[in-house]
Amino acid sequence: MAFHQQQILPAVRKMKDLEKLISSSYEYLVLLDSHISQLSSIVDLARSHGKKMLLHADLIEGLKNDEYAAEFLCQVIKPAGLISTRANVIIKTKQNGLLAIQRLFLLDTNALEKSYSLLERTKPDFIEVLPGIMPHIIQEVHERAGIPIFAGGLIRSVEDVENAVSAGATAVTTSRVELWKHYAP
């Protein structure tokens, strides 16, 4: 089952990539690197073209990624949702009624076990598992947490996408333009 009929969540790093996606059939987009002064105009541009932005709160230059920043993003910028590694950002996002996506860097068994504890506290709407090229770990997290998963990080090929989805990922986040084109709804 795809996330709102999207198997791919295009992750934008540059404005020229956003410009390519504005006329695409993708409804949801992920904004990775940005600057606080650009956020409002980027989200407004996307919204005016029927797009819903998921902002990566940890990658916004000029904005500390804490609960106050999350409050500002939710109430002033008003994206569709926020992605963050920070528990307080996820909790505040949920309180504001936006999609809350907990990003997890699964580097080793210790990080995986700490992630399960974190998920108990934050209860996000979605989990983004990084790197997304570990199907057996995606499957384990999906089964153990019972929360829909996005796979991201190091996704380079159609095979990587298919493996992640087969393992239980709802969608795959990627900045690879060729994958956006391949999977365009």
Contact between residue 155 and residue 163 where contact means Cβ atoms under 8 Å apart = no
**For the chain, where are the E strands, in sequence order?**
8-12, 28-31, 34-35, 52-56, 60-61, 81-84, 99-105, 126-130, 149-152, 169-174
Determine the pLDDT at residue 85.
97
Determine the pLDDT at residue 125.
98
Q: Can you identify the CATH homologous superfamily of domain 8-183?
A: Aldolase class I (3.20.20.70)
Q: Is the peptide bond before 124 cis (omega within 30 degrees of 0)?
A: no
CA gyration radius, the chain: 15
Contact between residue 160 and residue 154 where contact means Cβ atoms under 8 Å apart = yes
Q: How far apart are CA 123 and CA 84, in angstroms?
A: 13
Determine the pLDDT at residue 185.
87
Give me the torsion for CA of 150, 154, 157, 158, rounded to 10°: -10
Determine the pLDDT at residue 26.
97
Q: Which residues of the chain have pLDDT under 70?
A: 1
Determine the pLDDT at residue 35.
94
Determine the pLDDT at residue 2.
83
Nearest to 78 by CA among 63, 91, 93: 93
Q: How far apart are CA 74 and CA 94, in angstroms?
A: 10
Q: Whole-structure pTM over 0.85, yes or no?
A: yes
